[in-house]
Amino acid sequence: MGDTAYIYLEDGTSFQGDAFGYNTVKCGELIFTTSMNGYPESLSDPSYAGQIMIITHPLVGNYGVPKRSSDDGILLNFESEKVQVDGLIVSELTKSEKWNCALNLDEWLANQNTPGISGLDTRLLTKKVRDKGAMMCAISTRGRLRYPERVLKKDYTKINFVEQLSPKRPIVQNRYRKSVVVVDCGVKHGILRNVSRLGYNVIRVPYNYTADKIMSFNPAGVLYSNGPGNPNLLKEVVSSMQTVLEYKIPVFGICLGHQIASLALGGRVRKMKFGHRAVNKAVVDQISGKAYITSHNHGYAMTPRDMPDEGKIWLMSPDDNIVEGALYKKRNMMTTQFHPEGRPGTNDAGFIFGMFGKMIKENGN
Amino acid sequence: MVTEMTGRKVIVLGSGAIKIGEAAEFDYSGSQALRVLKEEGYESVLINPNVATVQTSYDMADKVYLLPVEPYFIERVIEKERPWGVMVGFGGQTALSAGVALHHSGVFKKYGIKVLGTSIDGIERALSREKFKETMREHGIKVPPSGSAKNKKSAIRLAKRLGYPLMMRVSFNLGGRGSAVLWNEKDLERELERAFAQSSIGEILLERYLHGWKEIEYEVVRDSMGNCAVTACIENLDPMGVHTGDSVVVTPAQTLDNYEYQMMRTISIRVAEAINLVGECNVQFALSPHGYEAYVIETNPRMSRSSALASKATGYPLAYVAAKIAFGHNLYDIKNSVSKSTTAFFEPSLDYITIKMPRWDLAKFDSAVQSVGTEMKSIGEVMAIGRNFEEAMQKAVRMLQIGEPGLVGGPIYHSSMGKKEIVETLKQRRPYWQLYVMKAFKEGMSVYEVHDITSVDLFFLKKLHSLAQTYEKRSKKPNAKEYKSMKRLGFSDAQLGVSRSNNLSVKQIDTMAGEWPAQTNYLYTTSLGEEDDIDTKAKKRKLLVLGAGVFRIGVSVEFDFGSVALAEGAKRYFDEVSMINYNPETVSTDWDRVHKLYFDELTEETVVNVHRKEKFESIATFAGGQIGNNLSLALERRGIKLFGTSGKSIDIAEDRNRFSALLEKLGIKQASWASATSLNQMSEFVEKFGFPVLVRPSYVLSGSAMKIANNMSELADYIDAATKLSPKHPIIMSSFIKEGIEAELDCGADGENAMGVTLRHIEEAGVHSGDSTIATPFLDGGPSAKMKEIALRLVNELDIKGPFNLQFIIEKNEPLVIELNLRASRSMPFASKSVGVNIMDHAINGVFGRFDWNGFYEPEHRAFAVKSPQFSWGQLRGAYPVLGPEMRSTGESAAFGRSLNSALIKSWLGVQPNKVPSAGVLIYGEKDRGLLKETADALAQKIGVSTLAVAPMHNHPALEIKHALDLIDQKRIDMIITNNGMRNVDYEIRRKAVDLNIPIVLNARLGRALADALFLDNLDCDEMKEHWKGGSVVSVG
């Protein structure tokens, strides 16, 4: 530390603070998360690819970063193998004394080629994003940029991040008799963990795998995963789902998967002003009236008007009229916009994986 | 009276007098419950003898009964009011225990009353240690290995089975009372009797003591549909074994990773489900500092101190939401009152750090054990908000008002303590470890050494260590850059020895870390910001009210009442009323009360900085007690306009010398006194007026460092201690008029005329006014007329505009002035309510214009009113119960009556653990033996209880004491009346009494008065307004 870092925003403003992490220049969409802990999970969440994250809680790094641990290829304490954000903005970077700390946050980001900046009024930046909407941001830990606008030229909405993150060939488990295929658009390992707990092999396939290839695994169910970026760019995924649905096997869509379902069945998905990125958000079951506190990370969404005709609104955000869960009974599909696996976040809606398991069982598997 | 006809009436039980473990947080939460009742269209009936609260002011409640929160009185009210429902979750343990008792005695059933919120069954599953443990096990929730016992034999057997060290806990208790860490069987035997006496069901629990584990708390709300939100997670810096009320705590938790946080969060929801919670509860965990292991320790199925803290820390109005839930609302149908755009079904996200720090006053208590442990001992607490840990910590230390300017640089940091002494202090867990830790670092101790002793997480210790290093390395004259970086670590200008204009930012507390635009007026200031969240420049007529700050002995809810009353009343005259205060337990820090709430320091630096931004028209310093008073002159000198009486006048009243000279000039009589700066001057005084003399420094509240000296050597001893406390001011000594009656006036004035209420003390002079039983009206017309005349002369002379309190001693019908306080007083709420007139409101009117009468107006008294002090002896292990010139009570109870005796007995019974005796009364004492004898005779003939006089003690004291102790052990004594202090003689009796919750009267005059009041038949139980209409008009001179 001690070096100065700079950020430059699309609206022409710039700020300076203390540099940490990797010495570089990056550009990404500026977003914020209000989750007060769980930064190792958030920073490794592939849905954040292409973004620069503000953490609104002022102290970050307090418990460091744990040693990677995994079970049959599924990570237990990270959401992917690497840091996914393009930069981190915090008010204060701290050092850890935790019993299970393997690295300090600063060291981890340095190892992972990710720049960080601290000492800023993060509330000011958060309010900016809230009021003006998500915007592009350049971050430099390598000194002042003479022409930040050159770096800022990147357009988040036009980049296919899924293509960059998705595995190039299937990743297969051989534990159980039956399998669930996960169409991996940048899946969080928390999701894989929950599927594996149902007692099925998790088979991760490339996002652009066709329905035929997916069905060749004879899956008991198919899960369309979360992932970063603009869903409207993912035509292949939409079309694979359209075909998979014809097989009437249980399908579960999470986050990006929820949006793909809408697009596959004639609905719409729109970019939100600044998205939901928090672990404290309510969803209300429109059928039972029960409500849950859940983990959210999405910058695109649909309102009831955007829903496909055949979808039934299942879960709603009571705060802003966003459809957070949908049921497609005829299709044997359910989808959630939020993350029932938490990580970071609550386990209150973890039972939804159980529902998926039940759908599979009822389908004869 | 439409509501009465529909029968939609709900009784709310308050928490009674303020004591250690139950403070003004229940005024706050009860007020929120009353507000919900109003919104829901119910008529509310409040039972609470705490006259000093905001909730007993018809501010929210429709009906107020100043009566003890005890089954007998509650049933009397139920009989009269026939309510539809009752709320027992908003008045602390007092209300909950009374509710459980009324449930079991069938009273609720008999009158068909619905218990709103969590059921009694659920409450019992939470509060009975045995049932709780069973319930947790049934639900597969891990609790520490433990067992419960109802007698000594089974406790010893159980302890052997579990193995030492053990934690002993008590069912249905308050403030951890009776609990202890036991290292061996000897400890167990010593503690058992006391522990059993603290449980209303006579049950204790022994559990494995998790030494050095972390203590974490969650606050859960759950609605009747079963929806749950976990609104706060609080991390104790102190480890297990220190009562959470006595711990430094940080919100949000700082050292938990996602797995730990969610694991315990999920369990806390399961705990709420297991007791079928409907409302709010707090779940406490012990968390291993070495691995993923946690146990549930306990749950409080009601609003608690922690939940009040959590509300203020997060901006989530827990009490309000809990009350809404009690009426069947779902969480997501309740609006988030801070954001106004989202619902109450969410979990707050904080973009700041809050630190809660306890404030102790142990030094005031002779023989009290000075270390902090499983039983709560702190009197008050502060909450500081900052954008980092250091800023919040340093603010919090300043807020404690213990003469420390922050974590470093104060008396403790610069003391001559050596390493050995520091280690001992930390080992014994003396109050304010955070300051001794800084001293330890200064003396070269490592964070690891300190960690080994204190078990405070290294994360925090390293931050503190680094702060100490930064302070040590600072430049004498910091440049702008260094100054800024020091400010970002929370240093005050006083601490740095510089004075610069610091650029503070005003930030909002909005419950969601800025995610949504919020209309919130809940604010704090920080040196770690680059912009203000709000517009401070609006041109309006603005008033700033300074609150009372931390509660300590002498400053309690009375001053919060004053602050709230002032803020409310001032809205008539100002466009915008702001408040600065930092006490999370209060109503004045409820952001719904004022236009802007600055939850911040009451230091000159902060007040001036806020003023620079806001440009208030004036600042009111008179409502919150001494803190404001002490700032007034400094603010005035900076050209800030004070609301009401000038700073100059305040300074005259506070400076004993100048005030006395003024009295002399006006020909007003005063008790003989002198101001001395040397022993010689003192001897001169004593030669003239003789011993005993009362000595004290000027500029004090609650008689801190006030002593009665009986001889020259006591005087000499005193000087060192006192001069340390107030170096700029000399020592005041006055002759001590023992036979006199103490009297007071609580008033409002317009610079010329005044209104107010006359009060008299039952105890003689020498007992601090805060520890006295106070009655009104003052029946003897002569002196009271003279008192008012004196008051008017002072009003005119000092141009008093606003509230004031004038104290007298009446010697042979002649009032002599003792002191004048140009501010709201401790007794003002009592004086106001005794006649149904808000003195503060008149005081505000007096600032703006003339009263519409000439001279002194005392409203008509239509009832007798008595206020009694509440002590917390039992909670302060080892403290010797005694009355003196130094205040020691923690709260007060009051009652009105158709006769003086009726008011007296109800007021006295409102104090815990007072009860009407049924077995026997022990009466003894050295002084005032005539009065004690009379008391014994009166009690013996009137009610036939066996009274026992142990006096004269000096014949066979040891034998007599042993006999008395035996009688107590045999449960043949359930009340004690004594007098003065005889520490060397009767320490054991007094201590045993308070440890076993036996009522003890410490003054002969009070004992005599109670003898006539104790066994009254047909106590009137009128509502407060009925008293004001009153059948018994009392003529006042």
Domain boundaries of chain A, sorted by first residue: 4-156, 161-362
Partner A contacted by B227 (CB < 8 A): yes
Token pair of B963 as six digits: 């006999």
The Cα–Cα gap between B171 and B126 comes to 9
In B, residues 355-414, which contact A (CB 8 Å cutoff)? Answer: 387-389
For the question of residue A189 being annotated catalytic, the response is no
Partner A contacted by B516 (CB < 8 A): yes
CB-CB under 8 Å, B515 with A57: no
CATH code at A4-156: 3.50.30.20
Nearest to B87 by CA among B125, B49, B48: B48
Residue ranges of chain B that CATH labels 3.30.470.20: 214-354, 653-867
Q: What is the pLDDT of residue B927?
A: 84
CB-CB under 8 Å, B258 with A58: no
Q: Give the contacts of A145 (CB within 8 A, at least 6 positions apart).
A: A6, A8, A25, A138, A151
Task: Give the type of residue at B969.
Answer: D
Residue ranges of chain B that CATH labels 1.10.1030.10: 355-496
- Nearest Cα of chain A lies from the Cα of B476 at a distance, in angstroms, of 23
The Cα–Cα gap between B530 and A128 comes to 13
Using alpha carbons, list the distances in angstroms from residue B772 to A235, B888, B919: 82, 11, 27
CB B13 within 8 A of CB B74: yes
pLDDT in tens, B536-562: 988 899 999 999 999 999 999 999 999
Residue ranges of chain A with per-residue pLDDT less than 70: 1
For domain B653-867, give its CATH number from 3.40.50.11540, 3.40.50.10440, 3.40.630.30, 3.30.470.20: 3.30.470.20
**Is the peptide bond prior to B913 cis by the omega test (within 30 degrees of 0)?**
yes
In A, residues 125-144, which contact B (CB 8 Å cutoff)? Answer: 126-127, 130-131
The Cα–Cα gap between A103 and A248 comes to 46
Q: What angle do CA B145, B149, B151 make, to 5 degrees?
A: 155
Q: Which residue of B has its CA nearest to A294?
A: B346
Q: What is the pLDDT of residue B5?
A: 42
Nearest to B461 by CA among B445, B484, B483: B445
- A161-362: what CATH class? alpha beta
The Cα–Cα gap between A175 and B739 comes to 92
Q: Which residue of B has its CA nearest to A95?
A: B459
CATH code at B355-496: 1.10.1030.10
Residue ranges of chain B with per-residue pLDDT less than 50: 1-5, 701-702, 725-727, 951, 953-954, 1033, 1035-1037
Topology (CATH level 3) of domain B214-354? D-amino Acid Aminotransferase; Chain A, domain 1 (3.30.470)
In A, residues 27-86, which contact B (CB 8 Å cutoff)? Answer: 32, 34-38, 40-41, 56-59, 62-63, 66, 77
CB-CB under 8 Å, A282 with B332: yes
Nearest to B689 by CA among B697, B698, B700, B681: B681
Task: Report, in angstroms and rounded to the nearest whole number, the Rg of chain A calculated over CA atoms.
Answer: 20
Q: Which residue of A has its CA nearest to B389?
A: A59
Interface contacts A/B by beta carbons within 8 Å: 160
Q: Which residue of B has its CA nearest to A349?
A: B266
User: Where would I find the beta strands (DSSP E) of B693-813?
Assistant: 693-697, 707-709, 731-735, 741-750, 754-764, 774-776, 801-811
Q: Give the contacts of B535 (CB within 8 A, at least 6 positions apart).
A: none
- Nearest Cα of chain A lies from the Cα of B477 at a distance, in angstroms, of 23
Partner A contacted by B335 (CB < 8 A): no
Residue B289, SS3 per DSSP: coil
Token pair of B379 as six digits: 């009197």
In A, residues 252-291, which contact B (CB 8 Å cutoff)? Answer: 278-282, 284, 289-291
The Cα–Cα gap between B632 and B110 comes to 56
The ipTM is 0.97
Residue B286, SS3 per DSSP: strand
For the question of residue A255 being annotated catalytic, the response is yes
**Is the peptide bond prior to A344 cis by the omega test (within 30 degrees of 0)?**
yes
Burial of residue B280 (CB within 10 Å: 0-12, 13-18, 19+) is buried
CB-CB under 8 Å, A98 with B513: no
- Nearest Cα of chain A lies from the Cα of B255 at a distance, in angstroms, of 6
For domain B145-208, give its CATH number from 3.30.1490.20, 3.30.230.10, 3.30.70.260, 3.40.1260.10: 3.30.1490.20
Other C-beta atoms within 10 Å of B416: how many?
Answer: 5
The Cα–Cα gap between B834 and B949 comes to 36
CB B235 within 8 A of CB B353: no
Using alpha carbons, list the distances in angstroms from residue B706 to B369, B683, B770: 21, 18, 13
Other C-beta atoms within 10 Å of B88: how many?
Answer: 28
Which candidate in A29, A79, A255, A258 is catalytic? A255
In B, residues 539-568, which contact A (CB 8 Å cutoff)? Answer: none
Phi, psi for residue B98 in degrees, rounded to 5: -65, -40
Task: Write down the architecture of domain B869-1013 according to CATH.
Answer: 3-Layer(aba) Sandwich (3.40)
What DSSP element (H or E) covers B1006?
helix B1004-1013
- Nearest Cα of chain A lies from the Cα of B616 at a distance, in angstroms, of 26
Task: Write down the architecture of domain B535-643 according to CATH.
Answer: 3-Layer(aba) Sandwich (3.40)
Residue ranges of chain B that CATH labels 3.40.50.20: 2-118, 535-643
Q: What is the pLDDT of residue B730?
A: 72
Token pair of B550 as six digits: 């931390």
Q: What is the pLDDT of residue B953?
A: 47
Partner A contacted by B459 (CB < 8 A): yes
Residue ranges of chain B that CATH labels 3.30.1490.20: 145-208
For domain B2-118, give its CATH number from 1.10.3720.10, 2.60.40.420, 3.40.50.20, 3.40.50.150: 3.40.50.20
Phi, psi for residue A100 in degrees, rounded to 5: -105, 20
CB-CB under 8 Å, A284 with B256: no
CB B462 within 8 A of CB B376: no
Q: Which one of B347, B448, B531 would you mutate to disrupt binding with A, by most A Cβ within 10 Å of its Cβ?
A: B347
CB-CB under 8 Å, A282 with B459: no
Q: Give buried/exposed letters for B614-632 (b at 16+ CB in 10 A, else e).
A: bebbbbbbbbbbbbbbbbb
For the question of residue A341 being annotated catalytic, the response is yes
- B48: alpha, beta or left, given left = phi > 0 and alpha = psi -120 to 50? beta
